[in-house]
A = this chain, B = another copy of it.
Amino acid sequence: MEASNRTKHEISPTKSIRCIVKLGGAAITCKNELEQINGKNLEVVCSQLRQSMMPSGKVFGMDWSKRPGISDVSCNVNEFEHQLTLDSHKFIVVHGAGSFGHFQASKSGVHKGGLHQPLVKAGFVATRISVTTLNLEIVRALAREGIPSVGMSPFSCGWSTSGRNIAAADLSVVDKAVESGFVPVLHGDAVHDNLQGCTILSGDVIIRHLAADLKPEYVVFLTDVLGVYDRPPAEPNAVLLREITVNEDGSWSVIKPVLQDMDKQVDFTVAAHDTTGGMEAKISEAAMIAKLGIDVYIVKAATSHSLRALIGELRGNIPDDWLGTVIRILK
């Protein structure tokens, strides 16, 4: 399926995707408050995305809908008259769920499958309502910044899984939207699964699939911490891993900070494995993308560091004053 998609929609170099951005759920929602967007962060994230995609400076708002608590509908048609283009330099946005969807999914066990069970079916519907609510809010926030964003739910795009892998995902719709100058906004979603009936398709898996097929120049993960640490970042001696290289066999090693001796390196690796399983999984996911020759930047959202990553400043050398984690192939 994937192979045939690739054949059908061969990407020529001139048309290639510049960047796929993951808006981490923790960065754009308030993790501990049900269905609460982190509006301030989201606004900065959208503004940085605009600066990265369309350096012209002027903002042409594209959300002409009513907003609760705001009386005016913002739509100034004349603004657009002397604008030559609003094309978006080929970005794709994928967002996580944060405090949207998780409650509904875990209450019902959608991720465990069994769509014939009434509770799972109800949870599937409830999860989709929650995550599409977030998707619409993110599309609107991007549009207010003048980014021609279009929401694309994996479920309605016909994406499905087989186990944890993507079984069907026709990327031609995403591709066509990008070619027309839009910025597709996808998200983690409840989808059909060939083996267990249904599951949750995560934003990270979507990113990996998009990256493998569309070969962006780089991928940016926006998170709520500076990058990847060797242990939970709240712990006193946590060390930010600045640069990780991936070998051809998929294994990876930390090359910055430089570790003093071999013994320490081993301890360190074990520690990373044991205490930060979440991060280990994240590195593995990112390593699979990096293995394709695509640089991956994991960086704190809404900081000067995220802006530098998004505009592509890190493509050559990583400046010493940049804080974040780079994961790339060993050259």
Minimum CB–CB distance from A150 to chain B (whole Å) comes to 6
Copies held by the complex: 2
- Specify which chain B residues have a CB less than 8 angstroms from the CB of A77 in the assembled complex: 107-108, 119
Total count of chain A residues near the partner, CB < 8 A = 61
Nearest B residue to A82 by beta-carbon distance? B118
Is A34's CB within 8 Å of the partner chain B? yes
Minimum CB–CB distance from A9 to chain B (whole Å) comes to 12
**Contacts A77-B108, A108-B77, A158-B157 hold; do A65 and B126 have CB atoms under 8 A apart?**
yes
- Specify which chain B residues have a CB less than 8 angstroms from the CB of A85 in the assembled complex: 116, 118
14 residue pairs of the A-B complex, CB under 8 angstroms, read A35-B65, A35-B66, A63-B126, A63-B129, A81-B119, A85-B116, A121-B182, A128-B151, A129-B136, A150-B155, A156-B173, A158-B172, A170-B170, A180-B192
Is A83's CB within 8 Å of the partner chain B? yes
Nearest B residue to A81 by beta-carbon distance? B119
Residue among B80, B83, B125, B155 making CB contact with A148, cutoff 8 Å: B125
- Specify which chain B residues have a CB less than 8 angstroms from the CB of A172 in the assembled complex: 158
Is A161's CB within 8 Å of the partner chain B? no
A66, A117, A129, A151 interface centre (most CB from chain B within 10 Å) = A129
Is A84's CB within 8 Å of the partner chain B? yes
Is A75's CB within 8 Å of the partner chain B? yes
Is A152's CB within 8 Å of the partner chain B? yes
For the complex of A and B, list the 7 residue pairs with the smallest distance between their C-beta atoms, beginning with the closest: A80-B119, A64-B126, A158-B173, A62-B125, A83-B118, A152-B156, A62-B122
Is A130's CB within 8 Å of the partner chain B? yes
Report the bound CA distance from A291 to B77 in whole Å. 43
